Structures are given as C-alpha cells and as structure tokens.
Amino acid sequence: MKTIREKILELRNKKQNKYSVKQLIDYFGSDSHWAVIFIVNLPMTIPAPPYAGGFSTLPTGTLALILSIQILLGYKKVELPATLEKINIDISLLKSENYKKVNDTLIWLEKYLKKRKTDIFSAFFEKVLAITIIPPSLLMMLPIIFTNWLPCVSVTLISFVYLFKDGLSIFIAVVFAWLVTFFYIILFTIFGTLFWEKRKVWSFGLIK
C-alpha cells in the first residue's frame, strides 16, 4: 500500500500542475477528508518569503475549515458544492527544488510513524481532531502576514499523522496544534492591548 508521500510523488512526476478539488478527492479515495486537507496545505508549508499579503493560505484555510465542519457533522466522505469542487489547486510548488527538503522530512517522519494504538481513531476522536484544526484554519484565513505558516504546519501535521493511523504520534500533533493556537491568542491579546492603549494616536484623538 502506497503512503501519502508516495502518492504525492506520483502527482509530482505528472506534467499537470493544477488539479480540481474533485480530482484530488477521487485520487486519494478513502480518508478523503484528511488526504485533501493534507495535499492542499502541504505546498503552503514549504518555507518561502511571505507573499500575497497573507492571502496565500486563505483558500486552503477555508477548505480545511469546511472539511473539519463536515467531519463534525458526521460526513463519511468529502461532499462539496460543485463550485468548490471545481476550484483548481496549483501543486507547482510540489515540483520545486524546495520540495526535496520537505520530502526528506516526510521520509524521516515515516520512520517513526507506525500503525499503532488504532483503537483511539473512533468517530468521537476524529471530531476532536476536527475541533483542533478549526482555530489554525481560521488563522490561515486571516489576511495577515505571519499568521499563516505555523497554523498551516499544525493542520498539515495532524492530517499526515492521521493518515498513518499512528495513535501515539497523533497526540504530539494535537499538542503542537493547540500550542500554536494559544501562542497566537497570547500574541493577539498583547498586540490588541497595545493597539487600544495607543488609540488616541491611530484614531487621531477621535477615540478617547
């Protein structure tokens, strides 16, 4: 049975650079929710200078949010409106030289990921995972630079580990995701407080 990484390499070796969401759903078959979440977010985890003013992860964050809600509602497979299924995902980043480093990292992770403690992967626990990725997905949707990469990594990591059904490593991925969420909550609280304290400056005295 091919791993998710090997399936991605197959996509990488094809000439086609853009795939519709529907094509990706059909390609990955079972566990389509987590497979689609993984494949659409993986290109965004490749380290690169920030671009698009924080909008680069808006589509993938939106899709991750929709799929997490579907999991919470008990959907057995990905079901999207035709308009969303037709959205094209550009995987050209997977064909860049930078992806080789990502692939090496995935190979390293595969050494430690094993199918174990699979009893934990119940319908209830899958919903817990869905709740866990909602905050990072919302952060990815914010058009603010530097609020995208870490949340994207956390969502990608959870989906990757889930696909291996590693009941031990999934806890590490969940803890990491919540640490990222709490980090941004603290960060926003600090900056929000400072922003409000300086309200007379940025509002030119209109707000006292």
The tens digit of pLDDT for each residue in 97-112 reads 777 777 787 788 778 8
Beta carbons within 8 Å of 42's beta carbon, 6+ residues apart: 8, 94, 102, 156
Mean pLDDT of 67-80: 86
Q: Which helix (H) or strand (E) holds 11?
A: helix 4-13
Per-residue confidence (pLDDT) for residue 180, from 0 to 100:
94
More confident residue, 24 or 68: 68
Q: Is 109 exposed, middle or buried (0-12, 13-18, 19+ CB in 10 A)?
A: middle
Contact between 20 and 128 (Cβ < 8 Å):
no
pLDDT, one tens digit per residue, over 81-100 is: 788 778 887 777 777 777 77
- Would you say residue 34 has pLDDT above 80? yes
Task: Return the percentage of the chain with pLDDT > 90, whole number.
Answer: 25
The number of C-alpha atoms within 13 Å of 58 and in the hemisphere containing its C-beta is: 10
- Would you say residue 162 has pLDDT above 80? yes
Give whichever of 4-18, 28-42, 131-145 has the largest mean pLDDT: 131-145
Per-residue confidence (pLDDT) for residue 191, from 0 to 100:
85
Mean pLDDT of 22-34: 78
- Would you say residue 51 has pLDDT above 70? no
Euclidean distance between CA atoms 206 and 4, whole angstroms: 55
Mean pLDDT of 181-197: 88
pTM: 0.77
Average pLDDT, the chain: 82
